[in-house]
Chain A
């Protein structure tokens, strides 16, 4: 009985940790999504620009002039990186979801066991 109590405690702690991890990963996923959207908007804007348009990049407090091809490839590189990051994080989210689901089932089992024991004690 006491052993089960301890087990319950440990299980709910791990479950909590899983959920915290899940939340932070989901937040990261949302941030990536926002960045992806922004980069896509920039890419769209670049497409409609003339080749000799003046493009500047903000580096710290200064604006540096950049070639269009350079800027376009920079944005493409970012989009590629972000895409990879998103699929990596999706995998992690799935992993965490599965893990936390497993823990939840275990937790429920232990809880039921404890309840049953309590009922028997009350009955007997």
Chain B
């Protein structure tokens, strides 16, 4: 969404007001990016959990291996893996591919699917990281210029009021 600035503007020519508006916007964008980053991180972790669940709970397990199935987060019931009668292969898993669709897959395919998702997210995470770095640099520069401007203004204002006071004392 954030496009690189096409027409470069020398930020030292901007007024203090414009600079602080720019600063606020950059901060907001940065916040947005970091929440997105965290969310992607959480999603990636969830997919990794799915892979682990397949690897540890299903792959290579026969129908007799007892399992504890969570009904809620604190209630478990014992059960065994069902092996579909019509398929000669081992049990399949249902994978949520998004928008309410679930696809029956072999455990291997399931792992492949989730690995693909994790890799995709890793790519996105890298991109966001880059964007955050760029925005951070921009923000720092803007803050620097803003501070300089404020200082300059303060000094100018300070000397002006001193002059006034000097005049007042003379008068």
Residues in chain B near residue A39, CB distance under 8 A: 98-99
Interface stretch, picked from A12-20, A55-63, A86-94, A98-106, is A55-63
Asked whether A49 lies within 8 Å of B103 as measured between CB atoms, the reply is: yes
Complex Cα–Cα for A57 and B92 (A): 17
Chain B residues with CB below 8 A from A59, complex form:
100
A56, B99: Cα distance in complex, Å: 11
Which residues of A (38-56) have their CB < 8 Å from a CB of B?
38-39, 41-42, 45-46, 49, 53-56
Nearest CB on B from A101, distance (A): 17
- Quote the shortest CB–CB distance from A78 to chain B (angstroms): 7
Known: A45-B113, A63-B94. A55 touches B99 (CB 8 A): no
Chain B, interface SS category: strand
| Interfacial chain A residues near B98, Cβ < 8 Å | 38-39, 41-42, 45
Number of residues of chain A lying within 8 A (CB) of chain B = 19
B43 to chain A, nearest CB (A): 12
Q: Which residue of B92, B94, B97, B104 contacts A42 across the interface (Cβ within 8 Å)?
A: B97
How many chain B residues touch A (CB < 8 A): the figure is 12
Residues of A within 8 A of B103 (CB): 45, 49, 53-56
Interface residues in B59-110 by Cβ distance below 8 A to A read 92, 94, 97-105
Pick the residue among B101, B104, B105 that contacts A57 (CB under 8 A): B101
B100 engages A58 (CB within 8 Å): yes
A75 lies within 8 A of chain B by Cβ: yes
Known: A45-B113, A54-B92. A38 touches B101 (CB 8 A): no
Let me know if A45 and B102 touch, CB within 8 A: no
Whole-angstrom distance between the Cβ of B131 and the nearest chain A Cβ: 17
B residues near A49, Cβ cutoff 8 Å: 103
* Residues from chain B with Cβ under 8 Å of A71 in the complex: 101
- Interfacial chain A residues near B102, Cβ < 8 Å: 55-58, 63
Bound together, the chains give a CA A42 to CA B102 distance in angstroms of 10
**Other 19 A-B pairs with CB < 8 A, given A54-B92, A71-B101:** A39-B98, A41-B97, A42-B97, A42-B99, A45-B98, A45-B103, A45-B113, A46-B97, A53-B105, A55-B102, A56-B94, A56-B102, A56-B104, A57-B100, A57-B101, A57-B102, A58-B100, A59-B100, A63-B94
Q: List 29 A-B contacts (CB under 8 A).
A: A35-B99, A39-B98, A39-B99, A41-B97, A42-B97, A42-B101, A45-B98, A45-B103, A45-B113, A49-B103, A53-B103, A53-B104, A53-B105, A54-B92, A54-B104, A55-B103, A55-B104, A56-B94, A56-B101, A56-B104, A57-B101, A57-B102, A58-B102, A59-B100, A63-B94, A71-B101, A75-B99, A75-B101, A78-B99
Q: Which residues from chain A sit less than 8 Å from chain B, CB to CB?
A: 35, 38-39, 41-42, 45-46, 49, 53-59, 63, 71, 75, 78
